[in-house]
Amino acid sequence: MALTDLTAEQSITAIAAGRTSSEDLVRAHLERVEHDDWNNFLAVNREAALARAREIDAMPQRPPLAGVPIAIKDALSTRDLTTTAGSRILEGFRPIYTATCVARLEAAGAVVIGKTNMDEFAMGSSCENSAYGPSLNPWDTTRVPGGSSGGSASAVAARQAPWSLGSDTGGSIRQPAALCGIVGVKPTYGAVSRYGLIAFASSLDQVGPFARTVRDAALLLQSMVGRDPMDTTSLDWPDPIVLPTAGRLDGVRVGVIEELMGEGIEPGVRAACRAALRRVESLGGTVVPIELPHASYGLATYYLIAPAECSANLARFDGIRYGRRAEATDDLLEHYERTRGEGFGPEVKRRIMLGTFALSSGYYDAYYGQAQRVRTLIVRDFAAAFAEVDVLASPTSPTVAFRLGERTADPLSMYLSDVCTIPVSLAGLPSLSIPCGLSDGLPVGLQLAGPAFSENRLFDVAHALEAAIGFDPSPPGVTA
Amino acid sequence: MIDDHVTRHVARLARLELTESETVQMQHELSAILEYVQQVQELDLATVPPTTHAIPLENVVREDVPTPSVPVELALREAPEVHGDGFAVPRMG
């Protein structure tokens, strides 16, 4: 077995047993990162990663993550390591501090090997909005890896890293995890500090892990959660994250979101999800239909709230304190307009415009105000559902990975990629995607969601299902 | 749904320079998106309060302890143009 085939947990065991070292593991993964067939990396941290690996190898007492390599979405700031958020406006930008979640993982013994490609400022569902070209799906390189955290998902599927970090605003971890056949977790809103995450929509953004097993994802989240004085929205975490061991689902009530199992969902995706739900029953759980009457308004609500928040958050990119600036202008207003006009790509401009419009005088109540009220109805729908069931299930994405270019001409068709993940995001709830089978040779993801702080329960259910499904996360043609 | 005048006005509010062709395309795309999202106006929401954050928190405070701030040279490191100890900006029009 190649070093790059090991899960993070297996790597930690192998290091502890003296069968390999952090340096060997980091070197093996860097080798794959540097021969990148999928355009997954925007920056490689070769020398610093190898130095850190040797340092950890020399420690008499290893930190818990033992020097296992990790890839980080380029939306997370890393001190002195180029961070662009997939945008021209941040080309060459080297942050002066490291995001808290990354710093916590480094302190726990993870070694950052590089920064992964993404839709510009996390706006997109295919990675095609990256200013540096799209990442490709290791299952079929004519197809997208999903987005916005496309590079982080593709890198883990392609064994360039055993795990990685992404950020999820409306589905940006779960949807690419589904399309690349791996596990992706969006924790409860506030679980992970966002200090150092380049902000998109602050009432929704959350950092979370990608991995090839549920246990690896849990292990990574375990090392990140908890209050950070630098992020006032971060929460005191009630119970530690525990690595799941469940093999049975006796007594677990799973609700199937009926609105997300019908029209608009590909038949092959539906079939794979139904098959996974039958396994819930064979493991001792019960499956019941659940209605979320306002889920169908989720997409419209999201495409008012998220652009409104982004239009405010992206005001900071003005070409003055950092980032790219337009050629000399002799007027400040012209400087702002030109710097931003040149620096942002089409989707980012579209969302800034949409958000600015939705917040502008005369339209605020009809659009942004109305969306915030619909959000309340969606929150209430979930609360009512969780009075009946422990976990909600649906497809993660309505389709398998689509072809490059297929949806770029029509923004709305791209937005529909997140129709299953957005309602959960609006309610701030934890959810994850696990691979549940193939449709036409491409991975299908099953989304599981629970009430706030139910991560341990979600991991247990996902772990039991993962074992029962027995999905092989090796894309054909990706060799060690 | 939104006309050329509104498109240009919003672009100005957003401090975005758009080319002529971008302006035309933006107007079409925004109109299509707004037509879709206006379904939020179908619902009777008079008695429904807005949600700003799904996990509500109140009065988050921390100890008021002075800590070292970013050194000036580090703060200026990434600036496109520096003047003395500050960021250089074009003159106000």
- Whole-number pLDDT of residue A480: 67
User: Which runs of E-coded beta strand occur in A226-339?
Assistant: 253-257, 286-290
Mutate to test the interface with A, among B2, B10, B41 (most CBs of A within 10 A): B10
- Whole-number pLDDT of residue B56: 80
Nearest-Cα residue of chain B relative to residue A352: B14
Q: What is the residue type of B13?
A: L
The structure tokens 């292990």 sit at A219
Size of interface A-B (CB pairs under 8 A): 179
Residues 6+ apart with CB under 8 A from A278: none
Mutate to test the interface with A, among B55, B57, B74, B92 (most CBs of A within 10 A): B55
Tokens representing A6 are 């090991």
- Whole-number pLDDT of residue A444: 98
For residues B60-65, give the mean pLDDT: 85
What is the rounded distance in angstroms from the CA atom of residue A419 to the CA atom of residue A407? 15
Q: What is the residue type of A101?
A: C
End-to-end CA gap in chain B: 33
Q: How close does chain A come to B19, measured CA to CA in Å?
A: 9
> Quick check: B65 contacting A, CB < 8 Å?
no
In the predicted structure, residue B93 carries a pLDDT above the cut 80: no
The structure tokens 């939705």 sit at A358
B53 to A203: CB separation less than 8 angstroms, yes or no: yes
Domain range list for chain B? 4-41
Q: How close does chain B come to A357, measured CA to CA in Å?
A: 6
Name the burial class of residue A46, with classes exposed (0-12), middle (13-18) and buried (19+) by CB atoms within 10 angstroms of its CB: middle
What is the rounded distance in angstroms from the CA atom of residue A312 to the CA atom of residue A64? 39
Could you tell me which of A433, A405, A439 has the C-alpha nearest to residue A418? Answer: A433
Could you tell me which of B25, B6, B58 has the C-alpha nearest to residue A361? Answer: B6
CB-CB contact of A445 with A397 (8 Å): yes
Mutate to test the interface with B, among A90, A310, A357, A415 (most CBs of B within 10 A): A357
Contacts of B19 in chain A (CB under 8 A): 341
What is the rounded distance in angstroms from the CA atom of residue A42 to the CA atom of residue A131? 10
CATH 1.10.20 fits B4-41, yes or no: yes
Burial A353-378 (b: 16+ CB within 10 A, else e): bbbbbbbbeebeeebbbbbbbbbbbb
- Whole-number pLDDT of residue A477: 82
What number of residues does chain A have?
A: 480
B13 to A349: CB separation less than 8 angstroms, yes or no: no
Q: How close does chain B come to A375, measured CA to CA in Å?
A: 6
- Whole-number pLDDT of residue A358: 96
Q: What is the residue type of A119?
A: D
Identify the band that residue B80 occupies on the pLDDT scale cut at 50, 70 and 90. very high
Nearest-Cα residue of chain B relative to residue A452: B55
CB-CB contact of A370 with B40 (8 Å): yes
A311 to B14: CB separation less than 8 angstroms, yes or no: yes
Longest Cα–Cα distance in chain B: 57
ipTM here: 0.96
Segments of chain A scoring below 50 in pLDDT: none
In the predicted structure, residue B39 carries a pLDDT above the cut 80: yes
Residues 6+ apart with CB under 8 A from A477: none
The DSSP code sequence of A379-448 is HHHHHHHTTT-SEEEEESSSSSPPBTTSSTT-HHHHHGGGTTTHHHHHTT--EEEEEEEEETTEEEEEEE
Residues 6+ apart with CB under 8 A from A398: A264, A265, A266, A269, A416, A417, A419, A420
End-to-end CA gap in chain A: 9
- Whole-number pLDDT of residue A367: 95
Instruction: Quickly count: other Cβ atoms within 10 Å of residue A415's Cβ.
Output: 21
